[in-house]
Amino acid sequence: MRDGLGSSPAEAPLGAAEGAIRAARRWFRGSGIGGQVVSLAVVMGLFAIGTGGRYLTLTNIQVILSLAAIPTIIAVGLHQVVVLGGIDLSVEGVVALCVVFVGLLIKNNMNGNDVGLWIVPITLGVGALAGLVSGLCNTKLAIPSFIATLGMSWLLWGLAVFVSQGQTVALLDQRFHPFVTGSVLGIPNLAILAVLLTAGLQLVQDKSQFGRYLYAIGGDEVLAKQAGVKVDRVKIVVFTLAGFLYGLAALLLTTRLGGSQAITGNNLLFPAVTAVAVGGVALTGGIGGARNAALGALIVTALNDGLILMHVNPYAQDAVNGVVLVVAVALTIDRKKLGFIK
Amino acid sequence: MDTSSARREPVFELRRVSKSYPGVVALDAMDFAVYPKEIVGLVGENGAGKSTLMKILVGLVQPDSGSLHLRGERVTLVDPAAAVRYGVGMVFQEGSLVPNLSILENLFLCHEAGFRRAGFLKKRAMRETAERVLAEVNVHVEVDSIVSGISPALRQMVEIARLLWLSTLYKKANPILILDEPTTVLTEGERTTLFGILRTIKERASVIFISHRLQEVMENSDRIVILKDGRKVKELPAEEARLEEIERLMVGQAFSVDRYREEEQAPPRKEELLSVTKLKKKGAFEALSFGVKRGEILGLVGLVGSGKEEICKCLSGLSKADGGTVKLAGRELVPGSPSDAVASGQGHVPIDRRSEGLALNMTVAKNVNLLVLEFLKSAGLVSPKKEKANAAKWIEECRIKAPSPSTACGNLSGGNQQKAVMAKWLSSSVKLLVLDHPTRGVDVGARDDIYRLIRKLAKDGIGMVIMCDTFEEDIGLSHRLLVLKDGRLVAEVPCPPGKKPNPSDIIGLVV
Amino acid sequence: METREAIEEGRGEGEHARARRRRTPALVYSVALLAALVLLFALGNRHFLSAYNLNTIASYAAILLVVGLGQMCTILIGGIDLSVGGLMSLTAVVFVLSLRSIGYWAFPLCLVMGLLVGFLNGSILTRVRIPSFIATLGTGGIMTSLALIVSPLPIDVPAPRYGMLNIVNGSLFGMKNLLLLTLLVFLLFYVVLRLTVTGNRILFVGSNITMSWMSGIDIVKTRNLAYVLSGLGASVAAVLVSCGQFGGDPTLGNVYILTSIAAVVVGGTAMTGGSGGPVNTLIGALILGVMENGMNVVGVNAYFQQSILGAVIIVSVFLTFDRSKVSVVK
């Protein structure tokens, strides 16, 4: 039956352009990053021309690096769920909740709390816990990841707004501020952190047992399970780690902004999913690593930054991201694995 | 029963193992033993019980009764991973390597504990071990190659190597390797290589292999076990085996005349209904031509790899042929388009009725009416009254036993589900019906209903192309048989009522 | 014997047997839930069953029902439409703007727009061949953007045009037009899904797409119908809301992505596709309406209600998900 599925008349191909598209697809897909590096160069080139060179100033490069850091951390968390073959739409909810926690527990202008450095493990813990719950819903309750995480997002978001009473909190504890805004040798600290996290996770993916299991499940979950992979356990770890990283992103975001409100996390999901797809992590799973997610985030940030510099309507960013997302997924998805499109 | 010297103890034994599925007895108090250092060839028709036996041996399925004994001890194999720890492993037909991982990674998947250091894997040590393990089965290949890109022959060897390595890892003497139709995907040369390797493996392991190529089984096994209808018909040392005897034992001698309603077999009409000209598909079957008349039942017989399934898929538009044409009632069918085939009057009763034949959560009535809703309209909209009437008519016609027409199809027995599938096609006035193993998993009573339906259809002038589970059924139902072997049409055998050929005559042509 | 089938058959022996047992239709549970909620809130608050309050609930539920019916079509076929939010936002602003220029023609314009967007979604699925949740996430994002580009701030219907809104805001025979129109939409969806050939096929494709394909069903046409209906539901809902608000809000749709899904699943339609229908969505919309109303009266924070909605969705999906249909849950 496999024979018929890939070429069923239910999905009509794009005709003459198919050859070129197939070549492009082969190029983009895969844990190799050749396609992504070239895309980045192309994007930057186009904007360099479009902005008459303003795009390539040192200041702007630093801005891009600094802006890309947090989406990178989120994308790196998200992409592992995608490698498994699922999707994690809970980003905004988790971030919202963590942001609110940071705002209310750290020294602020609303209440007398002052947990100081404890905020770090607390935030990371809250994020991880949220991820754990998503993972449990997906594995033990057998709820598809997309609904489980979508539901979680709203659940946590509502909780966040409720806890914060919809108010904006100003942070008085400034101890993190120098770190999140500072730089070393011209490179923003956040960027360095993002790179270290990416490299670390990539190392784990390449060289550990866990990494093998991750890709085995993504490649063929049924066969992986038969070979003895403890699928549920791996999935739960992946979701928990994702939540952990979202928590980290929330912490950095809040301390950089100096204030916390529940809506801080809004508009983080779309670029993160786009980043993962653009980076070459196939939605069908089994392909793509941390460095792909990071590069994808860089490309998306570079793209959005260029749009801003060229004074494109800010509301158009979602539209551009939407198109880029659809194109990126179309190029990286493994249609044979997917079977019929629903 | 034992070939040489002393009385050997079996390394793996099944005692009086039985397994039944609803309406079907798969294994009937089977005794099966594997001795150390031997190659056992397992043969039997489809439905003989080979698959079920294998599944029980590797822990995929639990027997209903009976016991398993490994190296003298009674065991329960809860799943394949547990079986592997006992040193019993299977190489499936399609292979079970994870496609996006490398050979290296697949070899040691889930058992890398020995290579771990500070949480990370020692790649170099893994590579060395991998190369050594593969060398033992005479394979020298780049171990970082991704599995999806290597040949089926190589994949098989990797799986065999993995099983052998795992048995040494778990210190199990004399592992048992089960190979399910290993030679189907291999070239002539690769087959020779495989059997050469199996002979070297024999020195420290036992191998069970299932094959339909009887010559091959005779040449490469030490002992041959023949199954039929869930029972072990005979086992004998390979050197004592003769081809004709094996064939006879596999298919049975007596041919029960009345089972297939032979007396209702009327001669086909004169008009040509289906005409297939030089149809070919690379890797499946070579150019062949045949025709089906109105009211004729044409049976396609052949073993795995004969190409008959692919031919039927091409007929129904489920698969695209590489050349040739299919004409139904004079109209040429568009290749690869099931909707065109159906619109032209062709129906397809699939082998897997649950996943391909019915919408299980929807009612019998809805499923039966699926294809004729256009004709059940009044005032431009579908009429519930006409739906009900049509459904009732065909439920009765096909003798579908359901509590009510609003019962969900998932709640019907296998036989009634199959009848529902046929009702769906019959209600849409098909001209030609392709039946893919129509009585698989169907109990005896429903089977008779289906035969009755088939006879009626033929009498009404509907042509049929049929593939059955047993030669006996093919012979009994068809007017004519087309015998296929390795993708080629090798013979055409008439099956007139009263003068039906014997299954043993046919099997000689097929193997 | 193929590997995958061998493994799944081995594991699934019990499942086939389990599937044979009778399953109480989800509708029974959702009606029971509705009844329980009504009882609960009625006992807690004597004004709950007043005509005014019931009317409030009905008006709220009506919008949910309309957009929910559209969403239901895509879920029935086994997909989802995450672009309903963006489409609603875009329709809201387009409606108000076109009211100013072309008057009454704004109504059919928005309907057509909804149909076209739905067709676009369906075509992307067929031609680009990516899963519906990504495709509609993308198109939804594009439309969300477009709405804000067209009008960053909410725009009001100019006073001279108020009369035109009476199509929705007026009453006929004592019933609010809003409710009558909703009833009309409900009947339309019911007729299309149950009494047209392609509508019936939506359920078949959702239940078993392989079988549908093998039986010669035109999957492309069926899919297009489902997504076109979804677009229609979203655009009609947006028009109804805009009339009631006397203005178009470019961020109108954001909350409806979630609530439309909620209305569908809470009513008992399974996300796996192929089971459920308009009546389920009706009950689901009423449940949500009663919950929202009841929680407001009791004083539950509006944002916390969103949390509860998230939890409710997870639970409903868990209860209606047909596990025998998927071997692995991703």
pLDDT tens, position by position, B185-232: 788 888 888 898 899 888 889 999 898 788 889 899 999 999 988 888
How far is B472 from chain A, CA to nearest CA, in Å?
Answer: 27
Q: Give the whole-angstrom CA distance, residue C134 versus residue C142.
A: 12
Residue C96 lies in a domain: yes
Distance in angstroms (rounded) separating the CA atoms of residues C235 and C110:
6
pLDDT over threshold 90, residue B431:
yes
pLDDT surpasses 60 at A14: no
- Res. C309: pLDDT tops 50: yes
Of A4, A154, A321, Cβ closest to residue C306: A154
pLDDT of residue C314: 84
Contacts of B163 in chain A (CB under 8 A): none
What letter does residue B383 receive in the DSSP assignment? -
pLDDT band at B254 (very low <50, low <70, confident <90, very high): low
Residue of B159, B351, B360, B371 to mutate, testing the C interface (most C Cβ within 10 Å of its Cβ): B360
Whether residue C102 is contained in a domain is answered as: yes
Q: What is the mean pLDDT of chain C?
A: 88
pLDDT surpasses 60 at B238: yes
Kindly tell me if the per-residue pLDDT of C25 is higher than 80: no
Distance from CA of C167 to the nearest CA of A (A): 32
Does residue A8 lie in a domain region?
A: no
Contact residues on chain C for A158, CB-CB shorter than 8 A: 303-310
Contacts of C151 in chain A (CB under 8 A): none
Average pLDDT over residues A115-143: 92
pLDDT at A129: 96
Q: Do C2 and B96 touch (CB under 8 A)?
A: no
Assign C17 a pLDDT band (cuts: 50, 70, 90).
very low
Q: What pLDDT does A205 receive?
A: 92
SS3 A314: coil
Predicted pLDDT at A22: 67
Q: How many CB atoms sit inside 10 A of residue B258's CB?
A: 8
What pTM, to 2 d.p., does this model score?
0.86
Q: Are A208 and B119 inside 8 Å of each other by CB?
A: yes
| Contact state of C273 with A147 under an 8 Å Cβ cutoff | no
A220 close to B (CB below 8 A) = yes
**Residue range C134-193, pLDDT digits in tens:** 899 999 999 999 999 999 999 998 888 888 888 888 888 878 899 999 999 999 999 999
- Residues of B with Cβ-Cβ distance to A226 under 8 angstroms: 79-81, 96
**C-alpha C128 chain-centroid distance:** 24
What digits encode the pLDDT tens for the residues C100-130? 889 889 999 999 999 999 999 999 999 999 9
The residue whose two tokens read 């739960």 is A236
Residue B251 has pLDDT above 90, yes or no: no
Distance between CA A184 and CA A192 in Å, rounded? 9
pLDDT at B257: 56
- Asked whether B473 and B439 are in contact (CB, 8 A), the reply is yes
- What pLDDT does residue A60 have? 87
C42 lies in some domain: no
A294-331 pLDDT, tens per residue? 999 999 999 988 888 888 888 888 788 889 888 888 88
Residues of B with CB under 8 A from a CB of C: 21-22, 51, 54-55, 60-61, 80, 92-96, 180, 316, 318, 338-343, 348, 350, 354-362, 366, 370-371, 373-374, 381-382, 384, 408, 410-411, 424
A322, part of any domain? yes
A265 CB-near residues (< 8 Å, 6+ apart): A91, A92, A93, A94, A95, A96, A99, A157, A160, A250, A253
C251-273, pLDDT tens digit by residue? Answer: 999 889 989 999 999 998 988 88
Alpha-carbon distance of C208 to B391, in angstroms, equals 20
Q: How many domains does chain C have?
A: 1
Chains in touch with A (≥3 Cβ pairs < 8 A): B, C
Residue A92 has pLDDT above 80, yes or no: yes
On whether ipTM exceeds 0.85, the answer is yes
Quote the CA–CA distance of A330 and C131 in Å, as a whole number: 9
Give the pLDDT score at C3.
58
Task: Quote the pLDDT of residue A40.
Answer: 85
Q: What is the largest CA-CA distance in chain B?
A: 85
Q: pLDDT higher for A181 or A133?
A: A133
State mean pLDDT over C314-322.
81
Could you say which of A8, A142, A329 has the minimum Cβ distance to residue C323? A142
**Average pLDDT value over all residues in chain B:** 87
Mean pLDDT over residues B248-265, rounded?
72
Please return the burial class of B420, using the count of CB atoms within 10 Å of its CB with bins 0-12, 13-18 and 19+: buried
Domains of chain B and any CATH numbers = 12-96+153-251 (3.40.50.300), 257-510 (3.40.50.300)
Query: What's the gap between Cα B223 and its chain centre?
Result: 24
Domain range for C270? 50-320
State mean pLDDT over A258-287: 86
pLDDT value, residue C19: 46
Vertex C120: Cα angle to C115 and C126 (nearest 5) = 125
Question: What single DSSP character describes residue C181?
Answer: H
Helices and strands in chain B: count of H runs, count of E runs: 16, 24
State whether residue A83 sits within 8 Å of chain C by CB.
no
pLDDT above 60 (res B147) = yes
B neighbour chains, 3+ CB pairs within 8 Å: A, C
Helix pair C51-76, C254-266: axis angle to 10 deg: 90
Whether residue C310 lies within 8 A of chain A, CB to CB, comes out as yes
Residue A213 in domain: yes
Task: Select from A150, A273, A326 the Cβ nearest to the Cβ of C130.
Answer: A326
Question: A26: domain range?
Answer: 15-338
- Give the pLDDT of residue C21: 45
For chain A, the domain total comes to 1
With b for 16 or more beta-carbon neighbours within 10 A and e for fewer, the A260-278 pattern comes to bbbebbeebbbbbbbbbbb
Nearest in space to B31 (alpha carbons), one of B65, B80, B77: B65
Q: Which residues of A touch C310 (CB under 8 A)?
A: 93, 150-158
Which chain C residue lies closest to B95 (C-alpha atoms)?
C3
Residue C309 within a domain: yes
Do the chains contact at A159 and C133, CB–CB below 8 Å? no
Whether the per-residue pLDDT at B425 is higher than 60: the answer is yes
Residue A11: pLDDT band with limits 50, 70, 90: very low
β-pairing, B463-467 vs B297-301, is: parallel
pLDDT tops 80 at residue C5: no
Could you tell me the CATH number of the domain that includes residue C252? Answer: 1.10.3470
Residue of B nearest to A286 (CA): B100
Query: Residue A16 pLDDT more than 70?
Result: no
Contact A341 C307 (CB under 8 A): no
Q: What percent of chain B has pLDDT over 70?
A: 97
Nearest to C133 among A146, A159, A330 (CB): A146
User: Across the interface, do A283 and C144 touch by the CB < 8 Å criterion?
Assistant: no
How close A124 comes to chain C (CA, Å)?
21
Confidence grade of residue A5 (pLDDT, cut at 50, 70, 90): very low
A271 in any annotated domain? yes
Token readout for C271 is 């996300």
Could you tell me if residue A2 is inside a domain? no
Q: Please check whether residue C136 lies inside any domain of the structure.
A: yes
pLDDT for the residue A9: 39
Domain assignment of residue A4, yes or no: no
pLDDT band at A2 (very low <50, low <70, confident <90, very high): very low
For residue B322, how many other CB atoms are within 10 A of its CB?
14
| Residue in C closest to B304 by C-alpha | C1
Chain A residues lying within 8 Å of C73, measured CB to CB: none
Is there a domain that residue C221 lies in? yes
Domain-embedded: residue A103: yes
Arithmetic mean of pLDDT, B25-47? 88
pLDDT at residue B323 is higher than 50: yes
Give B359-384 pLDDT, tens digit per residue: 998 999 999 999 999 899 988 899 99
Please write down the long-range contacts of C106-114, taking CB distance under 8 Å and 24 or more positions apart: C106/C164, C107/C167, C107/C239, C110/C235, C110/C236, C110/C238, C110/C239, C111/C232, C111/C235, C111/C236, C111/C239, C113/C235, C114/C87, C114/C231, C114/C232, C114/C233, C114/C234, C114/C235, C114/C236
Q: A13 CB near a chain B CB, below 8 Å?
A: no
